[in-house]
Amino acid sequence: RFVISKMAAFYYSSRTLCRPSILNLFSKYNSSIKHVSYYNSNIPDATYGGRHTVSLIPADGIGQSLIMGIVEVFQNSGVPVDFEECYITGDTNEEKMKSFNDIKTSVLRNGTALKGNWATSMGIGSKSYNVLLRHDLDLYANVVKFKSYPTVITRHNNVDLIVIRENTEGEYTNLEHENIPGVIEMIKIITKKKSERIAKYAFDYAMENNRKKVTAVHKANIMKLSDGLFLKVCKEVAEGYPEIDFNDMIIDNCAMQMVSKPEQFDVIVTPNLYGNVLSNIAAALVGGPGLPHGENHGNGIHVFESGTRNSGMDIATKNIANPMSMLFAATALLRHLQLSKHAQLIESCIHKIVTTNQARTVDIGGNTSTSEFFEILVKEVEAYRYKRKVQMKKS
């Protein structure tokens, strides 16, 4: 038994330590994928076999600086994660799609990803890689959590709601065509199968997270067939969850109710486009897009990102973006990997530096830059770990 355990230890340690050099050799032929092991000799060794490989997708705009800042935080927090950096590269559409397919392969292989947002330009023929990734990997459930944060002053201080958005159909199926010159048709797809899948996800989420109510948001009074089907399926699914209160609300009324009385909402389940609108409204209620994080879940595939999916191209070079949203996406990823202690460490340090005004970006009433926020956070993490080490020696 001892010999087998030592052999297993050697296998896992050599696999972790050698993987970067192997993949760096491979990267000569595939420049869109780069494997980086952020190993630091000052950090306690992870348990053999306990390291995780996560796809890292900086994408565009503020994503570059935010995600690389998170890498440093993970490094100094002793997080047993190796990152496989993924980029869209090339000059032609064909080259870009090849690198995009490499990114999909990375996410499929690793099962988890931390992602920024690719900027999408207007105009015919301009593809959204964000939508393509969700469609191609069938990341059907977008979950965004909105909760009032201590000391962040907003009109409402009691917001605590979840928006669960169907992520793969609706208006985002991109089925548009010009029937005759000057007349555009767009096809909105709503299916019973996918409506049932997202409704069950929402009710299961409510059960597992001690939530009391699910609200289906729709426009079935006008879109009687498409949204009518979505609402009908939600009502049918609700019958199987008698412990959870259920109601429905028309999207325009929901938007008004959300800004006037957000405490009435618990879990919202909705088709694709409405989920996008409501997520941005809810973000404003808790302090802006710099706070809420988002999760995208499929069958064995999980991608974590900012809640409002902003690339922030207009502020990308200004060093003013709030990193809290991406940091909370990162800690949600850690909890998914069952690394809750590491997640709690990072979140506790964020809470301390923000609530004591050591670090607050301009959007939440401070003047801390993005890079300064990360520097202060890393110092707080190091101080916390040092205190823990001293306490353990004394005990």
**In order of start, what are the domains of the chain with their CATH numbers?**
44-119+127-140+290-394 (3.40.718.10), 155-286 (3.40.718.10)
Q: What are phi and psi of 282, to 5 degrees?
A: -65, -35
pLDDT number for residue 125? 61
Q: Which two tokens stand for residue 383?
A: 């101080």
pLDDT number for residue 6? 37
- Strand pairing partners for 114? 56, 304
Residue pLDDT, tens place only, 261-301: 999 999 999 999 999 999 999 999 999 999 999 999 999 99
Q: Which amino acid, residue 94?
A: E
Q: Which two tokens stand for residue 115?
A: 């992602």
pLDDT number for residue 14? 34
pLDDT number for residue 333? 97
Residue 181: Cβ-neighbour burial (10 angstroms; 0-12, 13-18, 19+): exposed
pLDDT number for residue 50? 75
Specify the pairing of strand 267-270 against strand 245-250.
unpaired
Q: What does the DSSP 8-state code read for residue 287?
A: T
pLDDT at 364 over 90: yes
User: Cα 387–332–149 angle (5° rounding)?
Assistant: 75
Residues with Cβ within 8 Å of 112's Cβ and at least 6 positions away in sequence, in order, are 52, 54, 55, 301, 302, 303, 304, 333, 336, 337
Residue pLDDT, tens place only, 159-204: 999 999 999 999 988 888 899 999 999 999 999 999 999 999 999 9
Residue pLDDT, tens place only, 221-235: 999 999 999 999 999
Q: Which DSSP helix (H) or strand (E) runs through 133? A: helix 129-136
pLDDT at 42 over 70: no
**Backbone conformation region of residue 170, classed left if phi is above 0, alpha if psi is from -120 to 50, else beta:** left
pLDDT at 47 over 50: no
Distance CA 103, CA 5 (A): 35
Inter-residue contact 75 to 324 (CB < 8 Å): no
Place of tokens 């802006």: 288
pLDDT number for residue 309? 83
Q: Which amino acid, residue 296?
A: N
Specify the pairing of strand 245-250 against strand 213-218.
parallel
Report how far apart, in Å, the C-alpha atoms of 381 and of each of 4, 110, 116 are. Answer: 37, 27, 24
Side-by-side strand order, sheet with 267-270: 33-36, 81-86, 52-57, 112-115, 302-306, 293-297, 141-147, 160-166, 267-270, 213-218, 245-250
User: Cα 85–14–106 angle (5° rounding)?
Assistant: 25
pLDDT number for residue 15? 33
pLDDT at 44 over 60: no
pLDDT at 365 over 70: yes
State the pLDDT confidence band at 32, using cuts at 50, 70 and 90.
Answer: low
pTM to 2 decimal places: 0.87
Which whole number is the average pLDDT over 249-260? 98
Provide the percentage of residues in the chain whose pLDDT is more than 70: 86
Provide the percentage of residues in the chain whose pLDDT is more than 90: 76
- The mean pLDDT value of the chain amounts to 88
